[in-house]
Structure 1
Amino acid sequence: MKRQRRCAVVCLLALLGLALAGAPLAPGSAADETLTLTVLATTDMHGNVWPHDYLLGRPVERGLAKVATYVKQVRARQPNTLLVDCGDTFQGTPLAYLYAEKYPSEPNPVVAAMNALGYDAMAVGNHEFNFGLRPLWRIKEQAQFPLLAANVASTYHDSRRDFPPYLIRTVGGVRVAILGMVTPAVPRWDPPAHRVGYEFRDLVETARQYVPELRRKADLVILIIHSGLGRDPVSGEREQELYPEEDHVWDIAEQAPGLDAIFFGHSHQELPGKVVNGVLLVQAKNWAQSVAEAEFVLTRTGERWQVTEKSSRLVPMDASIAADPEILELTRAAHERTEQYLNTVLGEVGEEVSARTGRVEDHPLVELIQRAQLHYGRAEVSLAALFSTATRWRAGPLTIRDVYRLYFYENKLYTVEITGAQLKQALEYSARSFNTYPWPADGSPLADLPGYNYDMAEGVSYQIDVSRPPGERIVNLQFQGAPLAPERKLRVALNSYRWSGGGAYDMLRHARVVHETDQEVRELIIAYLLEQKEKKFIPATDRNWEIIPAEARAAIIKWATTPPPPRPPQPAAAPAPAAAR
């Protein structure tokens, strides 16, 4: 009897389960309380829309058109998806330059592509200020998504000029708060005219101000920010940086409780995901080389949703992902116009020139930059850096593309008045870029410093004694054939980045300007080449500086011209690891 009764109860429960399976679910039932939401993020796209390297003139595996294909694939399988960007978006390629400077009244192709793709929001990046405020304001007007910057206070009190701090979107019934910020180091790199009316405030303090408010208003709170991690991603040790205010993503995670995730950029690194103090940190690769994808599982409790799981990964925009035809067609005219511009012939290169030794000896390509700056800056001395030692001009037609390879940053030209003592101080600071000689057999002669912060001078002659300690290396500094007196005043041409304090050249920052141009240094180099009667570029220098002692000079030139050893074969890449709480 007990067995029969037990069978009867089991059969009754089975029938009841079938009946319930076919019935509509009541609101708030257990099966109704879980939702998955996806956030896709890009960062530091720098005007890369087409999968094309404009400096080399060839296809590459990157760009917003490839991102578009992946975004559409995700949206097809997951309707609860947000798409955000972490800044440095509208500067960096010749295409971006042309539509900021040459054709500012026409629709910006990068903005048009982002509008078509349906971005929800982006954080302002430091390079958004490179072209000045009017181009930035035009971008704001054209964008169908907000440019967020909670830590940028504005004196304009005008929605066309102010940057909103955050956006709240409802996705699948979940209220999502998107807070945006930008590194407050912008004044270190751009002149005051490019940021007048704006004040850049501390990142951690701003996060502490807004996160509690957003936590009350939203179920999911994320930060999109143009700032680096500021720590070693494995050890968590603080990194040594030139600007203490620049990179604070890790600090925000530790000191501003209430965030669920931070999507960040600026450092051109990538991080598949790391949890710090319960906050998921994710960084996509620059130039739209990868997309950060984070998945949040939320459970509803009463009227509120709570994050119960979160994970992230990076999706490379490799050959397996084709460029989206819609985005390509939308921006085709801009792309073709850019290629036509880059192919403009300026003259002829007499013999191939490689910049491999451009930072270790006086070099003809650097000499060209210096000569243009001296000429258009009406200066006695010029300071300039070589941005890439990979620059190479082949023998044959000299085009704008070649000049772009040599000078790809957006800098204006300033001429300042400084003393001989300040110039020597700047050259000593620059000479820190060398390790002290003799160098170990397996060591590098160059210190671990960005090459674009190593300035060379023209208009004076000097030697860099790398056997001496940093700060005591500039010897035999002469101007017009005589030792340069510390009190001697000089008219020195330099770019706007250096004048603003870029590279922490504090001795040059905001020096008295005696002359300035409204053109990019690259455009001045182009104009200088066009003005020359001899249209053939013949590599030559005046050898006004050198490294000593002689054996150190020979060793460092040999080091610079020796190809690196081939890399050993790499194992097949495993899928990017996910981070989860």
Structure 2
Amino acid sequence: MDEITLTILETSDVHGNVFPINYGTNQHADVGLAKISTLIKQEKAKNEATLVLDNGDVIQGTPFTYHYARMNNNQENPMTLAMNQIGYEASVFGNHEFNYGRDLLDRTVQASQFPWLAANIVDDTTGEPFYGQPYIIKTFPSGLKVAVLGLTTQYIPNWEQQDHIQGMEFKDVVVTAKTWVPYIKEQETPDVMIISYHGGFERDLDTGEATEKLTGENQGYQLCQEVEGIDILLTGHQHRLIADQTINGVTVLQPGNNGIVLGKVIVDLAHDGDKWKIVDTQSQLLSTGGVNPDQTILETVTSYEQATQAWLDQPIGTIKGDMVVHDPLAIRLQDNPLIEFINQVQMDVAGVNISHTALFNNDSPGFPSHVTMRDVVSNYIYPNTLQVIRISGQDIKDALEQSATYFKQYNGSDIEINERFTTPKPQHYNYDMWEGIDYTIDIRRPEGERITQLDYQGAPVQMNETYDVVMNNYRAGGGGDYLMYKDKPVIKDIQTDMSELIANYILRHKEIEATVDGNWKVIY
């Protein structure tokens, strides 16, 4: 045989989607591993030399996985069951793999019929890979030898609860790749060298211009430029749709999120002596739109889905007034009953009188008059817990200025959102709205000078005084570039998921009145 074609199939950021459903509306959606499985079967039927990889963030993200993790986890993880049946060769750890704690993650890894890879997650004592396997080698009957090195964004300690990553050190992915790629090429002599990296691109793919602060969260562009010997870079984390693209001769791919597409790389090789040599590579995205879900996958996890749906339909209370999201932008321009309610829950649980939260995305529906668990998890979509941290008045001012960058400077016509919060993926969750302080944001002014009023209990906030503020654990760790919060004293750590806290609050009060005190506004 003188020529061969290798097919590499990638999923990333599946985020707990198996069934083709939107859990907020219970309507059909072109998402999930069941549809992906159909596409994978079709591709395997075309080419025996096929490699199926997941790039991380697979076990968290829907009510389906939340219900399993919090109420049904004495059974095997349903995502593992589906992935085992599909026949994944390996998966990389994503940042959200750690959200439910080490016990659940360790059991998930043990039940997987494929290895989980992360060369840069090491034991903080020995320096050895924490989960044992940094890479895999796949040899096909033709003798074709493929290496896959797994890497995970090193920024995880800035988001994750520390007890979930105890004993781990997250090394720089570029430094790690510079060590492992030459080692693999020398020791294993693969014909194709793949890096599967749960991270994205920090620069424009065409111009190389920086598109975000170079924090180390996304280093895909740097990997392509600085690490010799990479043939293909599979990426994720940013939820982008990237195909038909190369950087410095490296073919790159990123298949969105939720299983809306399957990423595919076609590698044509020719035999050259005793080695296979790459002749050409192409990358593309295969849509799940109109694809029939694989019924065998659905049947495998049907009992989990039925339990989830019963839980989601539980009535928990009523809303008196209007807490429905009619216009996401309007909610971010002035105090709103929905945001005030979530802040009220946080302050009640934490026992403090200053709080902030966000409207996480533009699909948040708000609360109807009769509330079920489905409504709660549709609005609070992350498994965040709460922390009370002690910060200065200056920290509050700096945090508000950071939030105020959500808006472009007002041009006299339309209110526009800063691209940093929409591109390459929506980050509306990084715009916070506060309760317990009174403030005004003037978006006619330049960034850094927009907070024109900042009061606490009827008097100006003192820059050198300290204040106890409750917020989610992601923000308390500095997530979203709120670096003013990093390493501040933690006064209280509340280890219960916010969605559970909201549900318990509604169950306790039975009827919630939609109120708004107008403590903040945006002017223009």
Same fold (TM over 0.5): yes
Q: Cα distance 1:148–1:487, how it changes in 2: closer, same or farther (>3 A)?
A: same
Cα root mean square deviation, aligned: 2.0
Whether the 8 Å contact between 1:88 and 1:126 is mirrored in structure 2 is yes
Whether the 8 Å contact between 1:37 and 1:297 is mirrored in structure 2 is yes
- The separation in 1 between residues aligned to 2:257 and 2:492, in whole angstroms, is 36
Whether the 8 Å contact between 1:156 and 1:162 is mirrored in structure 2 is no
- The separation in 1 between residues aligned to 2:348 and 2:463, in whole angstroms, is 25
Residue 508 (structure 2) aligned to one of 531, 536, 539: 531
- TM-superposed deviation, 1:351: 4.7
- TM-superposed deviation, 1:485: 2.3
Residue 106 (structure 1) aligned to one of 75, 82, 85: 75
Partner of 2:494: 517
In structure 1, list runs of 5 or more residues that go unmatched. 1-31, 553-581
Q: Cα distance 1:477–1:394, how it changes in 2: closer, same or farther (>3 A)?
A: closer
- TM-superposed deviation, 1:446: 5.4
Q: Cα distance 1:56–1:242, how it changes in 2: closer, same or farther (>3 A)?
A: farther
Residue 286 (structure 1) aligned to one of 234, 238, 257: 257
Whether the 8 Å contact between 1:123 and 1:147 is mirrored in structure 2 is yes
Structure 1 counterpart of 2:60, one-letter code: Q
Partner of 2:154: 184
Establish whether residue 255 from structure 1 lines up as the match of residue 226 from structure 2. Answer: yes
- TM-superposed deviation, 1:375: 0.7
Residue 470 (structure 2) aligned to one of 486, 493, 502: 493
Q: Cα distance 1:107–1:345, how it changes in 2: closer, same or farther (>3 A)?
A: same
Residue 295 (structure 1) aligned to one of 266, 270, 274: 266
1:293-327 per-residue CA deviation (whole Å, 9 max, x = no partner) reads 122222223332222222222110111x2100100
1:446-501 per-residue CA deviation (whole Å, 9 max, x = no partner) reads 56423211112111112223333322322332222222222333221011000111
Partner of 1:231: 203
1:324-361 per-residue CA deviation (whole Å, 9 max, x = no partner) reads 01000001111111111111111123455225222111
Establish whether residue 324 from structure 1 lines up as the match of residue 294 from structure 2. Answer: yes
Establish whether residue 441 from structure 1 lines up as the match of residue 413 from structure 2. Answer: yes
In structure 2, list runs of 5 or more residues that go unmatched. 422-426
Whether the 8 Å contact between 2:350 and 2:388 is mirrored in structure 1 is yes
Whether the 8 Å contact between 2:195 and 2:233 is mirrored in structure 1 is yes
Whether the 8 Å contact between 2:341 and 2:514 is mirrored in structure 1 is no
- The separation in 2 between residues aligned to 1:232 and 1:376, in whole angstroms, is 43
Q: Cα distance 1:486–1:340, how it changes in 2: closer, same or farther (>3 A)?
A: same
Residue 193 (structure 2) aligned to one of 221, 225, 235: 221
- The separation in 2 between residues aligned to 1:465 and 1:93, in whole angstroms, is 37
Partner of 2:144: 174
Residue 366 (structure 1) aligned to one of 294, 317, 339: 339
- The separation in 1 between residues aligned to 2:409 and 2:203, in whole angstroms, is 27
Count of residue pairs the alignment pairs up? 513
- TM-superposed deviation, 1:103: 2.2
- TM-superposed deviation, 1:86: 0.8
Q: Secondary structure at the match of 1:169?
A: strand
- The separation in 2 between residues aligned to 1:291 and 1:113, in whole angstroms, is 16
Whether the 8 Å contact between 2:478 and 2:486 is mirrored in structure 1 is yes
- The separation in 1 between residues aligned to 2:392 and 2:84, in whole angstroms, is 50
Q: Secondary structure at the match of 1:372?
A: helix
1:354-405 per-residue CA deviation (whole Å, 9 max, x = no partner) reads 2522211101111111001101111121121111243234644211111112
Whether the 8 Å contact between 1:100 and 1:131 is mirrored in structure 2 is yes
Q: Cα distance 1:470–1:278, how it changes in 2: closer, same or farther (>3 A)?
A: closer
- The separation in 2 between residues aligned to 1:221 and 1:445, in whole angstroms, is 40
Partner of 1:240: 211
Whether the 8 Å contact between 1:428 and 1:472 is mirrored in structure 2 is yes
* More displaced 10-residue stretch of structure 1: 501-510 or 382-391: 382-391
Partner of 2:424: none
Q: Cα distance 1:468–1:395, how it changes in 2: closer, same or farther (>3 A)?
A: same
Q: Cα distance 1:105–1:359, how it changes in 2: closer, same or farther (>3 A)?
A: same
Partner of 1:540: 515
Q: Cα distance 1:503–1:255, how it changes in 2: closer, same or farther (>3 A)?
A: same
Whether the 8 Å contact between 1:86 and 1:224 is mirrored in structure 2 is yes
| TM-score where L is the length of structure 2 | 0.93
- The separation in 1 between residues aligned to 2:180 and 2:417, in whole angstroms, is 47
* More displaced 10-residue stretch of structure 1: 452-461 or 428-437: 428-437
Establish whether residue 83 from structure 1 lines up as the match of residue 57 from structure 2. Answer: no
- TM-superposed deviation, 1:157: 6.4
- The separation in 2 between residues aligned to 1:488 and 1:355, in whole angstroms, is 38
Partner of 2:386: 413
| TM-score where L is the length of structure 1 | 0.84
- TM-superposed deviation, 1:192: 2.0
Whether the 8 Å contact between 2:389 and 2:490 is mirrored in structure 1 is yes
- The separation in 2 between residues aligned to 1:452 and 1:246, in whole angstroms, is 17
Q: Cα distance 1:160–1:507, how it changes in 2: closer, same or farther (>3 A)?
A: closer
Partner of 1:387: 360
Structure 1 counterpart of 2:177, one-letter code: A
